[in-house]
Amino acid sequence: MRQTLTIFAVFTTAVAVASVATGAPRMQRQTIAEAVASPTRSPANVARDQYRHPVDTLNFFGVKPGNTVVEIWPGGGWYTEILAPLTRAKGSYYAAVGPDFPNGGKAVETLKAKDAALYGHAQLVAFPAQAGQPKVPDGTADVVLTFRNVHNWRMGYKRGNVDYSPEAFAQMFAMLKKGGTLGIEDHRLPESASAEREKTSGYIKVSTVRRLAEQAGFKFVGASEVNANPRDTADWPQGVWTLPPSYTLKDVDRAKYAAIGESDRMTLKFRKP
């Protein structure tokens, strides 16, 4: 036993010395909790953890540090600050931006320029990708995640108000490996509400998201209430943007909406068979 430990110690020392000698970076895998707790995240983003519950959300989706992770429409990079460092040692991270590609990736490019060690491996691709645009190769992703975006596709955002959600789901299905996971979080419209409100309010029904996913070939795995907010009645004068962080009404009833907090959200997990 002592001889085995001695050999292991010598081997470990040799690897460490070789890494120093060659200048090779020694990156260790982070857990989700460690990535979320990192001091490299911006304080403004950390302040929103109380509404977005990133540790529980990513654990529910089953994200692992060694995964190839695709984030659809990373926006200002809120989840990029978590997912890119999480995957840098052993995994891969795609920021799928668009339809104004590459302009939609400015926040990710800023993070890459700021800290190449943490974010340099992030790859920008288009979504939904059009002919000739860079995209996630088919059948390569372990996990595809999209946070508060399905309602945009349903509303035809930046596509002349024409619903392109079936196209979006088809492309997400194509980029995943067999057995891969699709994780969706979005603003939840009550099932009793008129479906017409999905076109203007920023809210969308769970049944609509499930229908779109299942029509694309996905199998429903389960739902979590980690991002639920029972104080949100989903019937605000300017839709979901009435609530924080948008505060579309500016100072009108701001305290009231601040007390409600961010929207009530579905958190759904699907699998590619």
Percentage above 70 pLDDT, the chain: 90
Compute the average pLDDT of residues 195-208.
Answer: 97
Q: Say whether pLDDT at 3 is over 70.
A: no
Compute the average pLDDT of residues 127-140.
Answer: 96
Q: Which pLDDT score is estimated for 27?
A: 55
CATH of the domain at 246: 3.40.50.150
Structural domain contains residue 9: no
Q: Which pLDDT score is estimated for 67?
A: 98
- More confident: 87 or 98: 87
Structural domain contains residue 247: yes
pLDDT in tens, 35-82: 999 999 999 999 999 999 999 999 999 999 999 999 999 999 999 999
Structural domain contains residue 183: yes
pLDDT in tens, 240-253: 999 999 999 999 99
Structural domain contains residue 151: yes
Which alpha helices (DSSP H) does the chain contain, by range?
2-22, 32-36, 43-46, 49-52, 54-61, 80-87, 106-114, 116-119, 150-155, 165-175, 206-215, 254-260
Q: Which pLDDT score is estimated for 264?
A: 98
Structural domain contains residue 62: yes
Compute the average pLDDT of residues 191-220.
Answer: 97
**Phi and psi at residue 263, to the nearest 5°:** -65, 160
Structural domain contains residue 39: yes
Kindly give, in sequence order, each residue whose CB lies less than 8 Å from that of residue 130, ignoring residues fewer than 6 positions away. Answer: 99
Structural domain contains residue 6: no
pTM (predicted TM-score): 0.89
Compute the average pLDDT of residues 92-97.
Answer: 97
Q: Which pLDDT score is estimated for 53?
A: 98
Q: Which pLDDT score is estimated for 20?
A: 36
Domain hosting residue 217, numbered range: 29-271
Q: Which pLDDT score is estimated for 16?
A: 38
CA–CA dist 257, 247 (Å, integer): 8
Q: Is 39 helix (H, G, I), strand (E, B) or coil?
A: coil
Compute the average pLDDT of residues 156-167.
Answer: 95
Structural domain contains residue 129: yes
Q: How many domains does the chain have?
A: 1
Kindly give, in sequence order, each residue whose CB lies less than 8 Å from that of residue 159, ignoring residues fewer than 6 positions away. Answer: 99
